Amino acid sequence: MAQLSDEAFAALYERNARSLWIYAYRITSNAADADDIVQETFVRVLDADLPDGDENARRYLFRVASNLATDRWRRVVREERTLRSADRPSTVTQPPVPDDDVAQTFAALKPRDRALLWLAYVEGETHESIAGALRLKRGSIKVMLSRARGRLRDLLRARGLDAKRSL
């Protein structure tokens, strides 16, 4: 593990920023949150001792982004709970609703399901890589992906969409 030089940091950013932003956007459904998550991820990289190798560094980036997205989700849930318990109307803004039906359905999934599906089927990551990025056991990824696919399929069907045609 070693800290990055300026050139190595720039190269890491160039190779990963776009896919990391897309990932963050898909699990948060909010462009501003995705911007913040990517920025905070790379800020943390500046002070971190990164694992050796491009693939390990990429896993580290996605793990940090996943943790930041989860922290945001937990904070929003906590804030909403606090507002409801205080009998005040909620002032927490909802994320914009995506335009197409599949994106809306994807956004309705829990963050972990979105992260699993995105990393597996959009980023094309291996089960080992997904496990490293999300800090899960490798052996559980296959089952968790199957369940996430099932939940997505059920949501698509409930909305009158053909899961095979839509995906």
Which domains are delineated in the chain?
Answer: 1-95 (1.10.1740), 97-167 (1.10.10.10)
- Predicted confidence band of residue 13 (pLDDT cuts 50, 70, 90): very high
Closest CA to 13 of 50, 58, 56: 58
Residue range 61-95, pLDDT digits in tens: 998 998 898 888 778 777 777 777 765 555 555 55
Query: In angstroms, rounded to a whole number, what is the distance separating the alpha carbons of residues 29 and 109?
Result: 11
Contact 41, 65 (CB under 8 A): yes
DSSP helix/strand/coil, 111 = helix
- Kindly report the pTM of this predicted structure: 0.57
